Amino acid sequence: MTFDAEWGTDSATGASATGPVPHSLERAHLVGIGGAGMSGIARILLARGARVSGSDAKDSRAFLPLRAQGAEIAVGQAAQNLDLLEDGPSAIVVSTAIQQDNPELVAARQRGIAVLHRAQALAELMAGYRVGCVAGTHGKTTTTSMLTVALQKCRLDPSFAIGGDLNESGANAYHGVGDLFVAEADESDGSFLSYRPDVAVVTNVEPDHLDHHGSAAAYVDVFEQFVDRIEPRGVLIVCADDPTAAELGDRAADRGIRVRRYGHAVTGPGDALMSRYSQSHGSGWVRVQLLGTDDADVAQAFDVEVAVPGEHMASNAVAALLAGMELGAPTAGLLEGLAAFGGVRRRFEFRGRAGGVRVYDDYAHHPTEVAAQLRAVRETAGNGRVLVVFQPHLYSRTRMFATEFAAALDGADEVIVLDVYGAREEPEPGVSGAMVAERITRARVRYEPAFDRAAAFAAESARPGDVLVTMGAGDVTQLGPEIIAELDRQYPGG
């Protein structure tokens, strides 16, 4: 596995589970426990009866439910945090973001404590389940969430681990009593190669995370490797409307892997042919025809409804439908669950209304995601204008895709571009939000490097009837409540 040399433990040869908790994770210490992926693993471990400790650089809202379940959590990272559990951890769990000189990682190695990458730990927790994994450059969080909610509606009670919080439960992970495990499969660092899915979905494949993978070809290749991880007699579900994902499916079929496709031009048996998308009052419908598997089969046709706008969301729902069917759920129950899906936090999440302006927050941070979401926002806005407060994420991504971001943001009427949210990267000379702003040609645009002035300026720019979206993977999400407060001051009682 790609993590062996760095982290030192291969989940395929580590201790296997004899009960609900793998032996290696009976006493687990999670470095960066407040993160979306790590907190999810902690939730499942605690629910299964493991003893859990962890640390993070700063306090987090994720700590409260984990502490309530019994986790011992320290703010700040230090070697002594490995002593939070009375007899110490049987393993520590880390993500790719944890540096090699992290004091807890160094101390664990000095003490001979097993080190697992986050994905390896999750793979351990999947053992013994029928596993559905959703991968793709875009849409994997939403599709995983849709699949989870649809299976829950079928009363199958799946365990799940998702990169965002379900609006229905407010949780990103859960230990269910059923025999299904649904997981979002993250390609950003190749860690999804730890998983062995029975059902794998690939929504699309577009070059991203090249700071890790190095080239577009290497990025595509890691998806090829992921497909080869599918269990024998498993199935790959791909979006035929995405050229690279479609080619991935063709090559998988040539290798003997069963493939089901969904999209607007599919023709194969078992495929889902999509047509006639419509949208009204914040919901979308797409007509789907399930093509027969042999001459004797009659094609099934029905409408798939999803209570979040955008044709890309309807496409994600069809992917979830096929995956649910492959996992043994009834079609009628899946359709009912998809229609009831309430969304995921930070995926076109409604934050409030003030002064006649509707304010949303969205996680889109790749040009294709931005363009797709703005098309959906345009439908939602009706006769109103579309305003976006956009925060580029990562210096490397901004440098590589500045022109593409600008073209996508031209789908709005007015754009405020913030400075880059660097996350794990150090600043690059000459790379800033201005690189995006100066390439926008149609929308009215302003580059605002001062984060603390952005909310006031956005509120001043908005007028009744507008839809305003804060967009990006960084701390731009904090601006929604501030913008609403500013609008309330401008339009008291509105």
Q: Which residues have a catalytic role annotated?
A: 140-141, 184
Greatest CA separation found in the chain? 67
Tell me whether residue 18 is exposed, middle or buried, using C-beta atoms within 10 angstroms of its C-beta: 0 to 12, 13 to 18, 19 or more. Answer: exposed
Give the number of other Cβ atoms within 10 Å of residue 67's Cβ.
12
Cα separation, 98 vs 429, in Å, equals: 25
**Structural contact between residues 448 and 457, judged by C-beta atoms closer than 8 angstroms:** yes
> Which residue shows structure tokens 């993070």?
56
Please enumerate in sequence order all residues whose Cβ is within 8 A of that of 2, keeping only pairs 6 or more positions apart, or say none.
190, 191, 193
Dihedral Cα 186, 189, 193, 196, nearest 10 deg:
-20
Cα separation, 442 vs 355, in Å, equals: 26
C-alpha distances in angstroms, 162 versus 282, 381, 463?
Answer: 24, 29, 36
**In which element (H, E) is residue 152 found?**
helix 140-153
Give the amino acid at 234. Answer: G
Give the amino acid at 369. Answer: E
Cα separation, 240 vs 271, in Å, equals: 10
Q: What token pair was written down for 309? A: 């706008």
**In which element (H, E) is residue 56 found?**
strand 51-56
**Structural contact between residues 199 and 133, judged by C-beta atoms closer than 8 angstroms:** yes
- Altogether, the residues listed in the chain come to a count of 494
**Structural contact between residues 298 and 292, judged by C-beta atoms closer than 8 angstroms:** yes
Angle at 159 between CA 286 and CA 141, to 5 degrees: 45
Please report how many Cα atoms fall inside a 13 Å half-sphere around the Cα of residue 231, on the Cβ side: 14
Q: Regarding beta strands 130-135 and 159-161, do their DSSP bridges make them parallel or antiparallel, or are they unpaired?
A: unpaired
Cα separation, 235 vs 228, in Å, equals: 11
32: closest CA among 420, 362, 424, 364?
Answer: 424
Please enumerate in sequence order all residues whose Cβ is within 8 A of that of 66, keeping only pairs 6 or more positions apart, or say none.
33, 39, 42, 43, 46, 52, 54, 73
> Which residue shows structure tokens 């419908």?
285
